[in-house]
Structure 1
Amino acid sequence: MRAFLTAAQYQIISLCRMRNLILTLFLQPLVLILLLGHAFGGEMKPAKVGLFIEDTGALSSSIQEYWHSEQVTAYAAVEITRSEEETRQSVESGRFDYGVVIREGFSEAVTAGQPAQWVLMPGHDDSRNIAVRAVADRYLSEMNLKQSASINGLGDASSDTENGSTDASSKTVQIGTLGVSAEHLFGTVNANQYYAVSNLIMFLLYAGMTGTIVLQNEKQNFTLQRIYTQPSRFNMVVYGKLAGVVCFGIVQSIVIIAFTTFVYDVDWGNRLDLTALVCLLSIAAGIGCAIVIASFFKSHQAFRSFYSIFIFIATFLSGGMVANLDGTVGELGKFTLNYWSTKGLRGIMNGELGTDLWMPIGVLASIAVVLLAIGAVRMSKVVKVNA
C-alpha cells in the first residue's frame, strides 16, 4: 500500500510540473467554453434603428407608438432622423443597424386601399436585419389585414387610429432566427451549459491519455523495468501511477466546474454528488479506454495521434461540437462514451429524477467497468517490454 500511495504522489507532482499540460487541460477548455457559449448563446442586443416618419396622416401617431412600445424596444432601439437621406447615410456608415422610412401619403394610401409600403434599409449584420424586418413586418401585416377588411366592406383601415393606438402595438412581437431556435438547438440547457459539459468530458478523456503516455515513456526509458526489480509489487506501483492520474482529473474537474460556475454563471444543478460521480466515472472510463488503445501501439507518438483523433470523432458524434445532430450521425453518437457522460451531466443540470437521470449514469458506469476490466487484461502490453 505504501508503494501505491508513493507512486500516486509522485505521479501527481510530475503532472503538475508539466506547464504545457496544465495549459492544455485547464486553460484550453475554459477558453473554448467561453468562446462557444457566447458565440451560440449570447443574447443579441437591440438593433439601432433610424426611423424617419414623413407621413403626417392618421396612422403617423400609431406608427410612433408602435416603434416605441415595450415589445419592440426589446429588439430595436429607435432614434428619430430628420430625412430619408440622413437615414440612408447613417445605415451605410454603421451608425444605425437598420433604417426605416415612412414616406408622405402612407396613411392616405392605406385608408384608400391602395398599395403602400415602407422603405426598409438593411444594415451589415444579417441577424439584426432579420430581427428588425420581423418587427416591421408585424405592423405592415396588421395594416394589410385592416386594408383587406376595408376593401371588402368589413371595417375602416384607420378606425383604430381615432383612439391613438393600433392593435399592432398591443400584440406580442415574435422574433425568430433562420433555422432552429437556440432553445431547440441546445434542448433544455443554454449554450454555456451545453459546451461546459461537452468540453469538460472531452478534456477529462485527454487526461486519461496523458497517464497512459507517461507509462509508455517510462517503459521506453526502462524506468518501469528498474521498478520491476524492486521488492515492492510492480502492479501496485503501476496502479498507483494511474491513481495519481485520477486525482489529477478530479482536480481538473473541480477547477473547470468552479470557474465556470463563478465566472461564466454556468448552473451545474443542485446535485454536486452526482456530478462528481459522473466525472469520476468518465475519468476511469477514459483511463481504461486509453490503456486498451495503447496496448495496440508500440510508439507513444502513434498512440497519441490515434487517440486524439478518436476523442475528436467521439466528441463530434456525441454532439459536443455541433448540437442537435440528427439521422445516422446522431444515432452513432449513442455508441460513444461522451454521449452518456454528457447526457448524465445535463440531466443533473435539468433536475431530472428516476430513470431519466440514472439510466445514463448506469450506462456510463457499465462502460467504465468494461473498459477498466479489458484495460487490466491488456496492461502488460503497455508496461512490459517483452509482453
Structure 2
Amino acid sequence: MKSFIIAWKDFKIRFTDRRGFMMMLLMPLLLTAILGSALSGFLNEGGLPKTVIGYYQEDEDTFTNMFRTDVLEAKEIKDDVKVKKVSSRTDLEEMLKEKKIDVGIIIPKQWSEHIQEGKLKEVELLTDPAKDIQAKIADSLIRSFFERVQTTAFTTKSVVTDLAQSQQGNVQEVAKNVGTDLQAIATSNKSGIETGTIGKKTVTAMQYYAAAMLVMFLLYNVTVGAKSIVGEQRTETLARLLTTPTSSYSVLLGKFFGTLLFACIQFGVFVIATHYAFGVNWGDDIAQLTVVGISYAICVSGLSMLIAAFIRDEKTADVMGGIGIQLLAILGGSMLPIYVFPDTLQKVANVAPNKWALTSFLDIMSGTSWNMLLPIILSLSSAGILSVIIGTLRLRTR
C-alpha cells in the first residue's frame, strides 16, 4: 500500500510539472503531425517505392530479352517499376548521374552461354547511394530470375539423365517438353517482388510516425525516472523516507510504480489524442495495443531503476537523455524507417527495446495475431522486471 502512495505522489509531481507535460505529451503530438504529413510521400503509402531502371544489354540474347519483357516489364509490377532501355553504357551512366534513373542494369555479352550448366554471367548494377531501396529491388529481380533459371537447368538435366539411364521413352522428346515447361516457369511474370502488406491493412505515414513518436517519448521516462530517484538521494528525501516505518523495498518499488503509472497514462492519452486529432487508426484489437503498451511501459520503468542504480548525479542522466535516448530513437526507427538502414545497422537495432515496441504497434495496425506478439510482450516485460530487481537490490545496498 505504501508503494502505491509513493507512486501516486511521484505521478502528481510529474503531471503538474508544466515543462514535463509539454515534453512528454504535447511535443510528441506536434512531431507526429509534422513528420506524418511531411514524409507521407517518402513512405509511399501505396506499396513499393517507384523505381526507374535503366537497362543496357551488350548483345542480343534470348534470355536477356525474356528477362526484360517477362520480368522487368511484367504487368504485376508495371505501376511501380519502369524500364528505360539505352544503347550504351555511357548513356546509362549519364542518366544515373542526372537522376533520370534510380538504378542501372548492364547485361554482359553471351549472358546465357553456360545456361545448360545452370549458370549466368554476373550482371552489373550501377547504383545511386541515395536510392538504396531501389537498388535492392533491382537486385532482387535479378537474383529471383537467376535462381529460377538455375532450377530449370538442373531439373531438366536430372530428368534427362534419369530417362537415359532407364532407357525408357523418347529422351529427346521428353527433354524438349520438360525444358519448354520449365523455361516458361523461369520466365513467368512472377517477378519475385509483390506489393502488399504483412497484415491485412497498409500502414500509412501518419500511423507510422504516431507509433514512432510514442515509443521515443515513452523512452524518456527512463531518464526522468532515474533523475527523480537520484534527485531524492541528493536532497536526502529518500533517507528521510527510510527513517519512517517504510521498508526500502516499498520505497523503491513505489518509485518504479510512479514511473510506470505516468508512462501508462502518457501512452493512453497519446493514443486517444492521435486517434481523434489526426485520425490515426491504431488497429482493430484494443487488447493487443494495450498489452504491448503496458509491457513496453514496464520495460521503460524498469530501465529507469537500473539506470538510477548506476549513476551518481542528475547531470549524467541529462547526458543520457540527450545522447542515449536520441541514439536509441534513431536505431529503433523513430526518425527513419528501419528498412532503409544497412543490414549491419538493422541487426544492431535489435538491442533497442523501442524497436520491438514500434514494430509491434505497426503489426497491430496492419493486423496480426497474438502468437506473433507474445514473444515480444514477454521479452519487454521480462527485461523490465529483471531491471527492477537488479536496480532495487543495488539501490538498497547504496
| Coarse TM-score class (shorter-chain normalised) | 0.5 to 0.7
Q: Supply the RMSD in Å over aligned alpha carbons.
A: 2.9
Counterpart code for 2:13: S
Separation in 2 of the partners of 1:219 and 1:362? 32
Contact 1:4 1:240 in 2 (8 A): yes
> Which residue does 2:235 correspond to in 1?
221
Separation in 2 of the partners of 1:380 and 1:307? 24
> Which residue does 1:169 correspond to in 2?
none
SS at match of 2:244: coil
1:377 aligns with 2:389: no
> Which residue does 1:318 correspond to in 2?
332
Q: Identify the match of residue 279 of structure 1 among 293, 301, 315.
A: 293
Separation in 2 of the partners of 1:245 and 1:222? 20
Separation in 1 of the partners of 2:279 and 2:364? 16
> Which residue does 1:172 correspond to in 2?
none
> Which residue does 2:374 correspond to in 1?
358
Separation in 2 of the partners of 1:297 and 1:210? 13
Cα deviation, 1:168-189, whole Å, max 9, x if unaligned, reads xxxxxxxxx97759x9899842
1:4 aligns with 2:19: no
1:184 and 1:236, CA in 2 relative to 1: closer, same or farther beyond 3 A? farther
Q: Identify the match of residue 218 of structure 2 among 204, 213, 225.
A: 204
Counterpart code for 2:39: F
Cα deviation, 1:51-82, whole Å, max 9, x if unaligned, reads xxxxxxxxxxxxxxxxxxxxxxxxxxxxxxxx
Counterpart code for 2:246: S
1:189 and 1:320, CA in 2 relative to 1: closer, same or farther beyond 3 A? same
User: Displacement, 1:196?
Assistant: 1.0
1:354 and 1:9, CA in 2 relative to 1: closer, same or farther beyond 3 A? closer
Gaps of 5+ in 1: 45-129, 135-176, 382-386
User: Displacement, 1:230?
Assistant: 0.9
Cα deviation, 1:320-344, whole Å, max 9, x if unaligned, reads 2111223111111112111111121
Identity over aligned residues, as a percent?
26
1:206 and 1:292, CA in 2 relative to 1: closer, same or farther beyond 3 A? same
Counterpart code for 2:349: G
Separation in 1 of the partners of 2:273 and 2:208? 15
1:11 and 1:293, CA in 2 relative to 1: closer, same or farther beyond 3 A? closer
1:33 aligns with 2:32: yes
1:13 and 1:222, CA in 2 relative to 1: closer, same or farther beyond 3 A? same
Q: Identify the match of residue 258 of structure 1 among 263, 272, 275.
A: 272
Separation in 1 of the partners of 2:196 and 2:33? 18
User: Displacement, 1:24?
Assistant: 0.2
User: Displacement, 1:364?
Assistant: 2.2
Separation in 1 of the partners of 2:280 and 2:295? 22
Cα deviation, 1:268-303, whole Å, max 9, x if unaligned, reads 001222212112111221122222223222111112
Name the stretch that deviates more: 22-31 or 236-245: 236-245
SS at match of 2:23: helix
Separation in 2 of the partners of 1:186 and 1:27? 31
Gaps of 5+ in 2: 45-98, 102-129, 135-193
Separation in 1 of the partners of 2:20 and 2:370? 38
Counterpart code for 1:8: A
1:332 aligns with 2:335: no
1:245 and 1:362, CA in 2 relative to 1: closer, same or farther beyond 3 A? closer
Greater radius of gyration (CA): 1
Separation in 1 of the partners of 2:196 and 2:304? 32
Q: Give the 5 Å matches for 1:158-197.
A: 188-197=202-211
Counterpart code for 2:362: R
Q: Give the 5 Å matches for 1:210-249.
A: 210-249=224-263
> Which residue does 1:55 correspond to in 2?
none
Separation in 2 of the partners of 1:358 and 1:364? 10
> Which residue does 2:308 correspond to in 1?
294
> Which residue does 1:346 correspond to in 2?
362
Counterpart code for 2:7: A
Separation in 1 of the partners of 2:197 and 2:28? 19
1:380 and 1:348, CA in 2 relative to 1: closer, same or farther beyond 3 A? same
Separation in 2 of the partners of 1:224 and 1:184? 57
Separation in 2 of the partners of 1:317 and 1:238? 30
Contact 1:209 1:286 in 2 (8 A): no
Contact 2:211 2:362 in 1 (8 A): yes
Cα deviation, 1:81-130, whole Å, max 9, x if unaligned, reads xxxxxxxxxxxxxxxxxxxxxxxxxxxxxxxxxxxxxxxxxxxxxxxxx9
1:266 and 1:345, CA in 2 relative to 1: closer, same or farther beyond 3 A? same
Separation in 2 of the partners of 1:354 and 1:286? 22
Separation in 1 of the partners of 2:278 and 2:301? 29
1:271 and 1:341, CA in 2 relative to 1: closer, same or farther beyond 3 A? same
1:297 and 1:272, CA in 2 relative to 1: closer, same or farther beyond 3 A? same
